[in-house]
Amino acid sequence: MGRSCLPKCRLARIMGWIQMILGGLVILVSILSLTRFYSAGFFLHNEDICQHFYNVGEVSDGFDVKSLSGRIGEVIDMLEALQGKLESKVQDMEKSKSTLLEKKFLEDEIVRPLHIANFALRKIQVPNVEGMNSTVKEDPLINFFITEEIRKYITPKENRVGKMNLYGTDKVYNTIGHACVLYKEELEKYMDYDIGSYCDDDWNLAQKLMLNGCDPLPRRRCLTRASKEYQRPYPINESLWRLPDGRNVRWGNYQCRKFECLSSKNPKRGYSKCIGCFEMEKEKLKWVANSSVLVDFFISEVLAIKPGEVRIGLDYGIGTGTFAARMREQNVTIVSTALNLGAPFSEMIALRGLVPLYVTLNQRLPFFDNTMDLVHSHGFMDGWIDLLLLDFILYDWDRILRPGGLLWIDSFFCNRKDLDNYVYMFLQLRYKKHKWVVSPKSKDEIYLSALLEKPPRAI
Ligand SMILES: *[C@@H]1O[C@H](CO)[C@@H](O)[C@H](O)[C@H]1NC(C)=O
Ligand SMILES: *[C@@H]1O[C@H](CO)[C@@H](O)[C@H](O)[C@H]1NC(C)=O
Ligand SMILES: *[C@@H]1O[C@H](CO)[C@@H](O)[C@H](O)[C@H]1NC(C)=O
Ligand SMILES: *[C@@H]1O[C@H](CO)[C@@H](O)[C@H](O)[C@H]1NC(C)=O
Helix (H) or strand (E) holding 113: helix 112-123
Q: What integer pLDDT is reported at residue 84 of this predicted model?
A: 83
**End-to-end alpha-carbon separation of the chain, Å?**
82
Does 201 lie in the same domain as 330?
A: no
Task: Say how far apart CA 412 and CA 316 lie, in whole Å.
Answer: 12
Does 62 lie in the same domain as 147?
A: no
Q: Quick check: CB of 331 below 6 Å from ligand 4?
A: yes
Q: Does 257 reside within a domain? A: no
Does 171 lie in the same domain as 109?
A: no
Q: What integer pLDDT is reported at residue 68 of this predicted model?
A: 79
Strand partners, 357: 337
Report the pLDDT averaged over residues 163-171.
Answer: 90
Cis peptide before 216 (omega within 30 of 0): yes
Given 98, 123, 148, the domain boundary residue is 123
Does 175 lie in the same domain as 70?
A: no
Does 437 lie in the same domain as 397?
A: yes
Its pTM stands at 0.75
Task: Say how far apart CA 258 and CA 245 lie, in whole Å.
Answer: 8
What is the span of the domain harbouring residue 314?
236-245+283-453
Does 96 lie in the same domain as 27?
A: yes
Q: What integer pLDDT is reported at residue 38 of this predicted model?
A: 47
Nearest protein Cα to ligand 4, atom 13: 330
Nearest protein Cα to ligand 1, atom 13: 134
Does 146 lie in the same domain as 96?
A: no
Q: What integer pLDDT is reported at residue 205 of this predicted model?
A: 97
Structure confidence by residue, pLDDT tens digits, 288-343: 998 877 889 999 999 999 999 999 999 999 999 999 999 999 999 999 999 999 99
User: Which atom from ligand 1 is nearest to the alpha carbon of 162?
Assistant: 13
Task: Say how far apart CA 243 and CA 234 lie, in whole Å.
Answer: 10
User: Which atom from ligand 1 is nearest to the alpha carbon of 131?
Assistant: 13
Task: Say how far apart CA 331 and CA 373 lie, in whole Å.
Answer: 13
Q: Quick check: CB of 330 below 6 Å from ligand 4?
A: yes
Q: Does 271 reside within a domain? A: no
Nearest protein Cα to ligand 1, atom 8: 133
Task: Say how far apart CA 433 and CA 429 lie, in whole Å.
Answer: 11
Nearest protein Cα to ligand 4, atom 12: 330
Most informative mutation of 133, 170, 171 for ligand 1 (most atoms within 8 A of CB): 133
Q: Give the distance (Å) from ligand 3 centre to CA of residue 240.
A: 25
Does 440 lie in the same domain as 319?
A: yes
Q: Does 32 reside within a domain? A: yes
Q: Quick check: CB of 290 below 6 Å from ligand 3?
A: yes
Structure confidence by residue, pLDDT tens digits, 345-359: 999 999 999 999 999
CA 82 to chain centre: 34
**pLDDT tier at 194, thresholds 50, 70, 90:** very high
Comparing 406 with 2, the larger pLDDT belongs to 406
Q: Quick check: CB of 135 below 6 Å from ligand 4?
A: no
Q: Work out how many domains the chain is built from and give that number.
A: 3
Q: Quick check: CB of 292 below 6 Å from ligand 3?
A: no
Structure confidence by residue, pLDDT tens digits, 8-56: 666 677 777 777 777 777 676 666 655 554 444 344 444 444 444 444 4
Does 194 lie in the same domain as 103?
A: no
Q: Does 151 reside within a domain? A: yes
Task: Say how far apart CA 272 and CA 343 lie, in whole Å.
Answer: 9
Q: Does 112 reside within a domain? A: yes
Question: Phi, psi (5° rounding) for residue 217?
Answer: -85, 155
Amino acid sitting at position 403: P
Q: Does 218 reside within a domain? A: no
